[in-house]
């Protein structure tokens, strides 16, 4: 990968012998991540809610890569019991080289998780936090293992409603989505700090896909008619996968953040991306960490970084 070129799927090295979990893998960016990793020889666990959709995705991948090593991992990030069950199942794998947290929801009407959390914060952040925390011991068994968290350009300027995390007082679906992506950015920032302070061999990094035409915008109403235009002018799902692939397999900095390099970070080849100063605020990151433990009842077991 040259500095001017940036990172694309062509830069993903051979992954034979490695094992990856990709959440939300049956469609969109998650599917494209899984496709590329399978082509490179990795074992890929497609962590999805719907078995039929996961099996259809695996069949599609096998059309191009007949010997692809794929498996369905049942996971519903809107239910912490499902998250626990998925982590227990994944921990039985001989090794785990990377957890790619890709699953998410975007701008739905007010809905709640099984544990009664506001859906976007519950799925996008708390589900990611819980799954990562539960799989850290397994990841730590493999030298060079990585955790990838997917944020968004929407995190910039976002704020977390600390006194109304469950949207009992009010709900703006766009603001709540941005807040959940802000939480993703704070999470991998704090996770990296704590992993390094603990001397862990696990690396945490973040990414964002820019603007890509995927099923994530299913709640965008009339804006969905722009998807064909988005796929032409901005990023396809395949290109939107490049930053996650870079964060999971490429040369990166611990705690680094990767995304498209063109049009202000919304399209093109992947490289180092910019994030807000607030997304790198240790006090905010620690507050979110503590709140996440309290809400999920799941503690990653990493002491605070100084």
What is the spatial distance between Cα 20 and Cα 142, in angstroms, rounded to a whole number? 12
Residue with tokens 């309290």: 294
Chain centroid offset of residue 184 CA: 8
Q: In the structure, how many helices (H) and strands (E) does the chain have?
A: 10, 8
Report the SS3 class of residue 260: strand
The reply to whether 177 belongs to the active site is yes
Identified catalytic residue from 177, 219, 257, 258: 177
Among residues 66, 205, 87, the alpha carbon closest in space to that of 144 is found at 205
120 φ/ψ angles, rounded to the nearest 5 degrees: -70, -45
3-state percent helix, strand, coil for the chain, nearest multiple of 5: 45, 15, 40
Which residues are within 8 A (CB) of 63 and not within 5 positions of it... i.e. 6 or more apart? none
Q: Which two structure tokens, joined as six digits, stand for 10?
A: 């062509």
Active site residues: 177
């Amino acid at each position: 990968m040259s500095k001017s070129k940036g990172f694309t799927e062509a830069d993903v090295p051979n992954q034979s012998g490695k094992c990856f979990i990709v959440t939300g893998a049956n469609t969109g960016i998650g599917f494209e991540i899984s496709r590329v990793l399978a082509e490179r020889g990795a074992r890929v666990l497609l962590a999805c809610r719907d078995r039929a959709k996961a099996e259809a995705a695996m069949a599609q991948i096998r059309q191009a890569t007949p010997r692809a090593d794929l498996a369905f991992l049942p996971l519903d990030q809107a239910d912490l019991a499902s998250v626990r069950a998925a982590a227990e199942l994944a921990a039985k794998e001989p090794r785990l080289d990377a957890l790619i947290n890709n699953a998410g929801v975007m701008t739905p009407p007010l809905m709640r998780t099984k544990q009664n959390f506001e859906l976007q914060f519950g799925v996008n952040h708390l589900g990611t936090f819980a799954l990562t925390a539960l799989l850290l011991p397994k990841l730590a068994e493999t030298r060079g293992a990585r955790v990838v968290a997917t944020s968004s350009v929407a995190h910039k300027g976002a704020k977390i409603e600390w006194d109304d995390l469950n949207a009992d007082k009010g709900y703006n679906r766009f603001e709540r989505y941005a807040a959940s992506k802000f939480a993703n950015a704070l999470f991998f920032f704090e996770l990296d700090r704590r992993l390094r302070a603990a001397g862990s061999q696990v690396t945490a990094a973040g990414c964002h896909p820019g603007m890509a035409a995927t099923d994530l915008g299913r709640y965008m109403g009339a804006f969905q008619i722009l998807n064909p235009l988005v796929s032409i002018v901005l990023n396809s799902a395949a290109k939107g996968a490049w930053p996650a692939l870079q964060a999971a397999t490429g040369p990166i900095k611990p705690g680094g953040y990767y995304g498209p390099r063109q049009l202000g970070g919304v399209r093109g080849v992947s490289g180092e991306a910019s994030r807000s100063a607030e997304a790198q605020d240790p006090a905010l990151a620690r507050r979110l960490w503590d709140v996440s433990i309290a809400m999920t009842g799941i503690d990653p077991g990493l002491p605070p970084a100084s």
